Amino acid sequence: MKAAVLWERRTPLKIEEIDLADLQPGEARVRMLASGVCHSDLHHINRETPFKPPLVLGHEGAGVVDAVSPDVKSVKPGDRVVIMFGSKCGTCHFCHSGEDYLCTTPLPDHPRFIRKDERFAQLLGVGSFAEYVNVTASNLVRVPDEVPIECAALLACGVTTGLGAVTTTAKVEPGSNVAVIGIGGVGMNVVQGAALAGANRVIAVDLVERKLEMAHQFGATHMINASETDPVQAIKDLTHGRGADYVFEVIGRPNTIKQAYDAARNGGTAVVVGLGAADEEVSFNLAELMRSGKAIQGCFYGSVRPHMDVPRYIDMYLNGRIKIDQLISRRFRLDQVNEAFDAMQAGEVARGVIMYE
Ligand code: COD
Ligand code: ZN
Ligand code: ZN
């Protein structure tokens, strides 16, 4: 089967013929049907991360179960599924506490992608830029037939991270003033989550005019182009000079994280959704942090509880309460995966999705 392999950081992915190992207990094989291209995949191309090349990227995938190991009862061949990334063991302290995103069980380290004696790392336990993947069956959430498979794929990351950041991580109250810095595939979902949560002002900040126009369709009430206007001052001007109750940073850069902190009102919260480089730091004035009563809140994967939140988001989608189709700007074949990354970096797409058939 074909997979897109990162052989060396900062080089294009190459399409290779590779194999899958035999299924281990607790595993399912999924035939991929759709996989979104997320900015986090790009982090693993450009930065040193724990996932070492040769590496199969992709963590926003959906497909159909092809086979399961005999002990697996939660899914069966033929089921359409979303593949959640990372460990979701269901048995550790955090999984039992409903904080599955903090699961401490290491990802399996036996090889799943192989070619003779070679083994290929699997991003976040998924590696969805491949025609088939072996994954831990408890990471799979079933999807009804009415949900288009490319919309299901976005539930594996962008939609779930963005909506969860608002509703589960920050628990935004109706009437809050919310600002969102970085309106990509994830940030757009923070915008729609804030609108759904009943926020009063939803202030979208980006450098790309097209993203801001789209943000308006997703519920933003005010749009700020940070290439023309100082976003911190503009957010304050829109919030009685105080700053927003919640400011979400959805990029992962020190300067925009600092902007989120500065643009939060006293007593407000800066929610950091973006992942910075391992060696990057942000500094805050200690006296101001203490006196302002501001909170800085980290947010990983929208604090997702997969088997509770994803079925809820599916219901909301089927009931017309959340937009997913409109997030998908372009479809690509697996052999066009590098073009999909180029389109993302050029700001041309909210989400590009790889389609496998
Ligand atoms: N000011 C305003 N907007 C900016 C600026 C700036 N200085 N710089 C870039 N932007 C905008 C871009 O124009 C773009 O619209 C947006 O920021 C980024 O969007 P995308 O589509 O490139 O990125 P996403 O939405 O796919 O991913 C954003 C994340 C923050 C999720 C990602 O980069 C990340 O850090 N992921 C790791 C954290 C995590 O939880 N990962 C789980 C899986 S994603
Ligand atoms: Zn992602
Ligand atoms: Zn766990």
Taking the model in full, what pTM does it have? 0.95
Co-location of 262 and 228 in the same domain: yes
Q: Among the three residues 284, 300, 316, which one is the final residue of a domain in this structure?
A: 300
DSSP letter string over 195-211? HHTT-S-EEEEES-HHH
Domain assignment of residue 313, yes or no: no
Pairing of strands 2-6, 61-68: unpaired
User: pLDDT tens for residues 280-305?
Assistant: 999 999 999 999 999 999 999 999 99
Pocket test for ligand 1, best of 139, 189, 251 (most atoms within 8 A of CB): 251
Ligand 1 pocket at CB < 6 A: 38-40, 157, 161, 181-187, 205-208, 211, 226, 250-252, 256, 273-275, 300-301, 344, 347
Co-location of 9 and 125 in the same domain: yes
User: pLDDT tens for residues 229-281?
Assistant: 999 999 999 999 999 999 999 999 999 999 999 999 999 999 999 988 888 99
Residue nearest atom 1 in ligand 1 by C-alpha distance:
206
Ligand 1 centre distance from Cα of residue 249 (Å): 8
Domain assignment of residue 160, yes or no: no
What is the total count of domains within the chain?
Answer: 2
The residues placing their C-beta within 5 Å of ligand 3, an ion, are 89, 92, 95, 103, 105
Percent of the chain with pLDDT over 90: 94
What is the strand order of the sheet 222-225 is part of? Answer: 222-225, 202-206, 178-181, 244-249, 264-272, 295-298
Domain assignment of residue 45, yes or no: yes
pLDDT at 89: 85
pLDDT at 158: 96
Domain assignment of residue 315, yes or no: no
pLDDT at 276: 86
DSSP letter string over 130-180? BSEEEEEGGGEEE--TTS-HHHHHHTTTHHHHHHHIIIIII-PPTT--EEE
Asked if pLDDT for residue 192 goes beyond 90, the answer is yes
pLDDT at 35: 98
Co-location of 174 and 146 in the same domain: no
CATH number at residue 187: 3.40.50.720
Percent of the chain with pLDDT over 70: 100
Domain assignment of residue 50, yes or no: yes
CA torsion angle 68 73 78 81 (round to 10): -90
User: In terms of residue numbers, what domain contains 94?
Assistant: 2-155+324-355
pLDDT at 347: 87
Ligand 1 centre distance from Cα of residue 275 (Å): 9
